[in-house]
Amino acid sequence: MTRTLFTGGHVFDGTGAPPQPADVVVEEGRIVAVGTGLDGDDVVDCTGSTVLPGLFDCHVHLMVNGLDPEGWRATPFSLPFFQAVHTMRATLAVGITTVRDACGADLGLQVAQQQGLIRGPRTFLSIEQLSQTGGQNDPWEPSGCLSPVFVPHPGRPDGVVDGPDQARRKVREMVRAGANVIKIATSGGVVSPRADPRAAHFGDDEVAMIVREAAAAGISVMAHAYSAEGINIAVRNGVRSIEHGYFLDDEAIDLMLDRGSWLVPTLMAGPGTLRAAAAGMSVPEHMLANAKLITEASMDSVRGAVAAGVKIAMGTDTGVTPHGQNLDELPLMAACGMTHAQVLHAATLSAARLMRLDDELGSVEPGKRADLVVIRGGIEPDGMADRVVAVYQDGELVHQRATTGG
């Protein structure tokens, strides 16, 4: 059995300790030792670098490439599946070895990655977002036409539901289709053609039913929620994580603290949409207006949550923004009052805890799967993607930055 030794650098182990000089030994895809003066058969020289746990992104859309409804309508149905091969590689290349797809990807994408047919982060699925009629995921346009972001198919059922009975059945359909988490929308959002992001959606009875049915299947619920009341409806009925949370108020923050809920801020989504529009992408006026609205509100909301001690896990809404730019989220989190170590913890062990994967992933500790990222320099979040040297998944080198000779 070959022992691979990562030596000569610092290790940020993800447990909350600052980076320390240390070696890491990997054997058969697992970390077997962390310390100083260790030995191995194959040596990876990490001099001048820091070894991190594999990073998480708890909110991506692997089947989307920008907010471009006109482009969506002109895209052949199967093309996004082929494009996802490249989006997954781009995600892996910045050190993200695990993602939670927040709707769009189906079971085939997950299985293809598991079987090694495509290289990418291990992917956990929500399949499709559940929303009420007239809500975030209702594709109805004023003309009466339907313009869904994701066209329903046998592996991706439609997500519009009303009432507890429909909600119960739809959760069961998503579980049948392979969902590892149930995604709901308790407010409108940027893409909503007919829904105000500041309005609350779904009633307590509907959300309670969704959470109950998900729990019966052994999985949790994540809620797209911008508005304070939409957040409150989700949290008081047992939703595990609030996605976005752009209009948090003190009541919502207190409730999240009381219930132990997580916040996945996705701070880069609004500014990224505005940059895409400025660069010439055809973003509809309602999406542009909503993006401006959330960009102005999001930083203050997340600052309040950070100061209060709400649990934070890293997520980006990538797909809305270009794939491979996920780590642009990290300096935005730091600007909300998180230390560099807290930012990286949110992208490693905190994220693993949110996804209930912390027994296997999220930290550099003996016994855990050897998902490792080697970066030049220290853990400062600015420009981290450009400093990724190598990415390992279960001990296998899955990405290495190309070097040029002189």
Q: Are 362 and 349 in contact (CB under 8 A)?
A: yes
- Return phi, psi of residue 399, to 5°: -155, 140
Q: How far is CA 66 from the centre of its chain?
A: 16
Beta-strand pair 96-101/122-125: parallel
Beta-strand pair 20-21/10-11: antiparallel
Quote the tokens at residue 39.
């030995």
Quote the tokens at residue 21.
């000089």
CA distance 31 to 150: 39
Please identify which residue in the block is written with the tokens 């805890």. Answer: 353
CA distance 260 to 99: 22
Quote the tokens at residue 344.
């990286």
Quote the tokens at residue 359.
């027994």
CA distance 338 to 341: 8
Count CB atoms within 10 A of the CB of residue 176: 12
Domains and CATH numbers, the chain: 3-52+362-400 (2.30.40.10), 55-354 (3.20.20.140)
CA atoms in the 13 A half-sphere facing the CB of 355:
31
Q: Which residues contact residue 263 at a Cβ distance below 8 angstroms, ignoring those fewer than 6 apart? A: 241, 242, 245, 248, 256, 302, 305, 310, 311, 312, 313
Strands across the sheet containing 262-264: 129-130, 182-185, 221-225, 241-244, 262-264, 311-312
3-state class of 49 per DSSP? strand
Global pTM reads 0.95
CA distance 312 to 175: 26
CA distance 367 to 56: 19
Q: Where are the alpha helices (H) located in 124-163, listed in sequence order?
A: none
Q: Are 225 and 186 in contact (CB under 8 A)?
A: yes
Per residue of the chain (406 residues), give pLDDT as tens: 899 999 999 999 999 889 999 999 999 999 999 999 999 999 999 999 999 999 999 999 999 987 777 777 788 999 999 999 999 999 999 999 999 999 999 999 999 999 999 999 999 999 999 999 998 888 887 888 777 878 899 999 999 999 999 999 999 999 999 999 999 999 987 776 667 778 899 999 999 999 999 999 999 999 999 999 999 999 999 999 999 999 999 999 999 999 999 999 999 988 877 777 777 666 677 777 777 777 778 899 999 999 999 999 999 999 988 999 999 999 999 999 999 999 999 999 999 999 999 999 999 999 999 999 999 999 999 999 999 999 999 999 999 997 644 3
